[in-house]
């Protein structure tokens, strides 16, 4: 099928879905579905294939592709994210795209696999808008917001603000807790002193706090001495 298209209609998209299904790998589907429990709507298409398809879509009329009505299959969601994150645009449009994509997230996979790398140019602008995600009533938006903080805000300028955001959300949603823990562990590698001090006084619930320590232990970027010390902070 020709994916580099001048126009996309709903009929074209239906044909495209049949093509996408033809790229599926049943063994990979079984493996992938096991990693995303409760979300079994997948075709079983490997991520490198999805990335290549997204690049081809971007060579054509990707705006019309995005306008096509889609279902909730994970590959469809991820493809939208891969396309949206490649669009070269100013900050207002990028923020709108991130909000649109975040509303489609339904698993850790569809959350974590998409990186809006262009946001690196707009960190000063986005930090004023991150509340939209961090304090959403939708936990997947929260996880997405924390993932953006982890990617772009573990810097000297923003580390205090970022750890403050982590402290400010006491979630009982497992996938938010795990992203908070991942963020703290990554911060320990990038901002060692600030993060060690943070762990001494953080306001996280016990589960998230201890998961952060566990992830620090799993990191190859943190010294044995620091791992031994944070163990003493376990609750």
Average pLDDT of span 122-142? 98
Other residues' Cβ atoms within 10 Å of the Cβ of residue 98: 24
Are the beta carbons of 187 and 160 closer than 8 angstroms? no
Q: Report the percent of the chain where pLDDT is more than 90.
A: 92
Structure confidence at residue 35 (pLDDT): 87
Per-residue pLDDT tens for 63-106?
999 999 998 899 999 999 999 999 999 999 999 999 999 999 99
Residue 107 tokens read as 């698993």
Per-residue pLDDT tens for 23-63?
999 999 999 888 887 666 899 999 999 999 999 999 999 99
Entry pTM:
0.94
Q: At what angle do helices 224-231 and 192-201 cross, to 10 degrees?
A: 10
Structure confidence at residue 38 (pLDDT): 67
């Amino acid at each position: 099928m020709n994916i580099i298209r001048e126009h996309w209609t709903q009929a074209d998209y239906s044909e495209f879905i049949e093509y996408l299904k033809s790229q599926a790998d049943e063994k990979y589907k079984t493996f992938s579905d096991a990693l995303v429990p409760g979300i079994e709507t997948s075709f079983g298409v490997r991520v490198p294939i999805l990335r290549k398809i997204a690049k081809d879509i971007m060579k054509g009329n990707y705006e019309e592709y995005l306008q096509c009505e889609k279902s909730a299959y994970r590959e469809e969601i991820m493809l939208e994210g891969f396309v949206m994150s490649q669009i070269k645009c100013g900050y207002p449009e990028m923020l709108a795209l991130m909000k649109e994509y975040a509303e489609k997230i339904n698993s850790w996979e569809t959350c974590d696999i998409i990186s809006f790398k262009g946001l690196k140019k707009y960190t000063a602008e986005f930090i004023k808008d991150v509340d939209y995600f961090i304090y959403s009533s939708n936990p997947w938006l929260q996880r997405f917001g924390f993932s953006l903080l982890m990617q772009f805000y573990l810097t000297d300028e923003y580390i205090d603000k970022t750890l403050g955001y982590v402290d400010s959300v006491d979630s009982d949603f497992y996938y938010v807790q795990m992203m908070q823990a991942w963020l703290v562990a990554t911060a320990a590698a990038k901002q060692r002193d600030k993060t060690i001090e943070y762990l001494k006084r953080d306001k996280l619930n016990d589960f998230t706090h201890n998961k952060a320590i566990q992830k620090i232990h799993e990191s190859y970027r943190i010294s044995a001495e620091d791992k031994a010390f944070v163990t003493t902070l376990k609750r």
